Structure 1
Amino acid sequence: MSPDVNPAANPAATPPADRPERWHRSEPGDLLSPHEDHAWQSFLEMQVRFWRKLAHLLQHETGLSEPEFAILSALARSPGGRLRPFELSGVTQFEKSRLHHQLTRMVGRGLITRERCPDAARAAMITLTDAGRDAILAALPRRAAHIREWLIEPLDAGRLAALTEASDAILEKLRVDETVGPDPVATTTAEADTGGCATDIDDTGGCATEPDACAADPGGCPAD
């Protein structure tokens, strides 16, 4: 296993050469068993290799990056092909400054437009362009084919059902975990129901009207 594929390996069987005395002081229950470690290592490497493969195929065959694909997919599913920036942050999991620069690149490529929202002077509305719609409509069948080839086809019906069940069990635990803050996907859905325009990122590139967020993370507000 190459080092770049396994960045977060958990040493369950081989003690670190520079800290053997600390390793031997560990209680047996503190470390993963060989069976647990095998499950973790397989899961981790599968995830890294799977998404590396899908990202490479997507870029090679469609010219889209993963963030571009996620944003265009969300816009294509939305009424009128329009969403507020904070809704897209739930799709990409990007913090504000990174999302701002990602959207700026996509505007430059002609995939989206960023316009002032008519209901709020400092808010922005992101809209899918004809070029963006053409790009995502061409990419969606390719992504479906890649998922079938690299996720569905290697598994028989029983293993696919087991994968789905295991994924659902882990997701259920993660979704109720509040230690990392609210679920961004759930938050996006709830906020979208309130209507109106977002005021979290304006189309001038500056900090918008979320003073608490900007105060908590001054470096997160775009400076351009």
Structure 2
Amino acid sequence: MRWLTPEEQRAWRGFIRLHERLGGRLARLLQSESKVSGADFAVLVHLTDAPDGRQRYQDLARALEWEKSRMSHHIARMAGRGMVVREECAEDARGAFVVITDAGRAAIEAAAPRHVEAVRELFMDHVTPAELRVLADISERVIKKLDEDQP
């Protein structure tokens, strides 16, 4: 067993606290000001980035690191609010797509400006351009390794 050194532990715990507190603050802000949950926002971001605003269920779940049941329940709630629809996959009877609706696009377009403003206020305004480049490099390297290890 390779325990973390005091320096590694300080960095790791600081990273986890930052992630939890920043994520929590952003999620509360989205919910209170836009009536969009942090999970809704994450789904809508992925869908707006996808061609035609559609993504296969399993690909979206993998991108969000969600279990199948969480994905299914959350998409059902979003569909109930008219933000997304579920479409069957003609090529694969077992597969399905999640597709953003006009209401989903309107929701993210309304929420995004305040979200970006909060990201700037809570994070970007407190790091230098050099620190930001290092953070981006670290994030991309770790994400690449996680993607390689994905089953």
User: Which bracket does the TM-score occupy, shorter chain normalised?
Assistant: 0.7 to 0.9
SS of aligned partner of 1:64: coil
Q: TM-score, normalised by structure 2?
A: 0.82
- Write the deviation string for residues 104-157 of structure 1: whole angstroms up to 9, x where unpaired: 111111111123334444543322211111001112222222221222101122
Alpha carbons 1:71, 1:91 under 8 Å: kept: no
* Gap change, CA 1:166 and 1:96, over 3 Å in 2: closer
Structure whose CA Rg is larger: 1
RMSD: 2.4
Whether 2:78 is the aligned partner of 1:106: answer: yes
Name whichever structure is richer in helix by fraction: 2
Task: Give the gaps of 5 or more residues in structure 1.
Answer: 1-28, 183-224
The whole-number CA distance in structure 1 between the counterparts of 2:95 and 2:79 is 17
SS of aligned partner of 1:153: helix
Aligned residues: 151
The whole-number CA distance in structure 2 between the counterparts of 1:32 and 1:75 is 38
Task: Give the gaps of 5 or more residues in structure 2.
Answer: none
Matches within 5 A, 1:60-79: 60-79=32-51
* Gap change, CA 1:113 and 1:33, over 3 Å in 2: closer
**CA deviation after TM superposition for structure 1 residue 31, in Å:** 4.1
Identify the match of residue 102 of structure 2 among 124, 130, 145: 130
- Write the deviation string for residues 194-216 of structure 1: whole angstroms up to 9, x where unpaired: xxxxxxxxxxxxxxxxxxxxxxx
**CA deviation after TM superposition for structure 1 residue 41, in Å:** 2.4
SS of aligned partner of 2:97: strand
SS of aligned partner of 2:123: helix
Matches within 5 A, 1:60-209: 60-176=32-148, 178=149, 181-182=150-151
Residue type matched to 2:28 in 1?
Answer: H
Q: TM-score, normalised by structure 1?
A: 0.58
